[in-house]
Structure formats: structure tokens, C-alpha cells
Amino acid sequence: MEVRPGIHQVPGLRWSNAYLLVEDQGLTLIDAGIPGDGKKVLSYIQHIGRDAQELSRVVLTHSHPDHTGPIRELSRLTGAVISVHPGDTRLRAKTNGRWLHYPWQPPAWDWDVPLLRRIPAHQLLEDGQELPVLGGLQVLHTPGHTPGSVCLFLPKHSVLFTGDMLLADGRRFRRPVYFPGTNLGDYRASVERLAGLTFDTACVGHGKPLLEGSAARLQEMLDHYAWMSPRWTEVKRWARLILRH
């Protein structure tokens, strides 16, 4: 499903969203769904007439397992580099390698067990970095949902990939989701930073992308937003969004 020219949403993912950026010189995946979704990513690559070996990079908006499920296999199979902000990784002194990590994560092992295995971080992202994808994919470090959450911005295409920092139902943004490890102060500062951007399309981590007028929709949400709402209300909103999806 092409959201914008060259920007595809991988179809058939039920829990979270993954986006494939397609250009002649290669393919970039932003997030990858839950464990088991790798097959859907690969069959979509085939469906658009491209080869799995062309997947050169997987960029993660954050390290939660509902966005990183199949990337270890995908990376092994295609050679794709796994890129993530260091705030969502942990340094393993023994090997001096970095592994994906998020707050309250259960212990991770070298065993090949979904949700409990170590996933390597090959390339670390930093705020302000520009990746050579579709004319320049900018990295914005937007902590809050997790310490290493990033949003990815394609200014030339007017598209923002929000991960779980902002969710939407196709018509408007949903309020941010609180999670173990969420820092409300950081979250607020990050969302306000996003509100300063000019963008038309928001490719969100859950729910349906907002195709047009996204910056104005975000401002609308912020104008009516009460930052200190009870946690259980957030849980209900989160559940409703996912069930509808």
C-alpha cells in the first residue's frame, strides 16, 4: 500500500505498522512489526517486484518488541543494518557490542526465543543525523515513550514517521500512550518539538496514517490536551485503538 510515492505501508500487519521506503538504489524498512511479521515484509517486497537482498537498512523508531519482532531474522537473511538510537540500547561489556533495550525489559539471552533474545544494534542514530534515503531522512531524537525514541522526517516529501510518540486513526491524532518507562516531561517536550515541524503526512506506529494536514491536526490535539490524565484512561484508549485496528 503506497502512502505517498516511494513510501509504502507493509500490508497485513495486525498489531503495529511498518513502512518500506522504496528507491532504485535499495529498500529501507522503518520498524518491522511483531515476531512472525517478517514473512509479510518479505512477501510484500516480492509483491512490488523487488528482491529481499535489496533491503539494506532497518531503522527503528524505538526498541519495543512490537516494532522489532522479526528484525534479527530479516537482518540475517538480507544483510540489512539495524539502526537505533543508543538510548534504546545497552552496551554489553563482554563483547563491546550493543543490543536493543527498553525500560522494564525482561532479561535477554543469546537463546533464540522471541521476546527474550538479544537483538544487535549495528548502527547508532543521533539527533540531527540525515540518512541517505529518499533525498534525506532526518533523525529527530524525541524521548518520552522510551528514552531512545526517534521520529524520522522526510522534509522533501512532507512525511513524518512517529513510531509510538504519536498514534492516529486515519482522521486525527490519538493522545500519546504511557508505558512503563515513559517520561511525561520528555514526552511533552518532544511532542511540542514535533508540533514545530511542517508536515502533511504522519506515518504512525499504531492505527492508520494521517495522509493530509497532519501538522494542523497535531496543533489541534495539543490545544485540547490535558497532560495529567489518569493512567487507566490511557490504557483504555490504547486498547480501543488496537482493537479497532
Question: What are 217's three cell numbers?
Answer: 491536526
Could you tell me how many residues of this chain bind Zn ion (CB under 5 A)?
Answer: 4
Residues between 92 and 151 that touch Zn ion (CB under 5 A): none
The least CB distance from residue 99 to Zn ion, in Å, is: 17
- Cα–Cα distance for residue pair 26/20, rounded to 1 Å: 10
DSSP state of 186: H
C-beta closer to Zn ion: residue 64 or 208:
64
Q: Which stretch binds Zn ion (CB under 5 A): 8-16, 45-53, 180-188, 192-200?
A: 8-16
Q: Which stretch binds Zn ion (CB under 5 A): 83-91, 122-130, 163-171, 187-195?
A: 163-171
Give the long-range contacts of residues 86-89, CB within 8 A, separation 24 or more. Answer: 86/121, 86/124, 86/125, 86/126, 86/148, 87/141, 87/143, 87/146, 87/147, 87/148, 87/149, 88/60, 88/62, 88/63, 88/146, 88/147, 88/148, 88/149, 89/63, 89/121, 89/124, 89/148
| Residue from the set 164, 166, 208, 221 that interacts with Zn ion by CB under 5 A | 164
- Cα–Cα distance for residue pair 15/151, rounded to 1 Å: 19
C-beta closer to Zn ion: residue 13 or 74:
13
The least CB distance from residue 171 to Zn ion, in Å, is: 20
C-beta closer to Zn ion: residue 64 or 118:
64
| Residue from the set 8, 57, 64, 72 that interacts with Zn ion by CB under 5 A | 64
Q: Contact residues for Zn ion (CB under 5 A)?
A: 16, 64, 66, 164
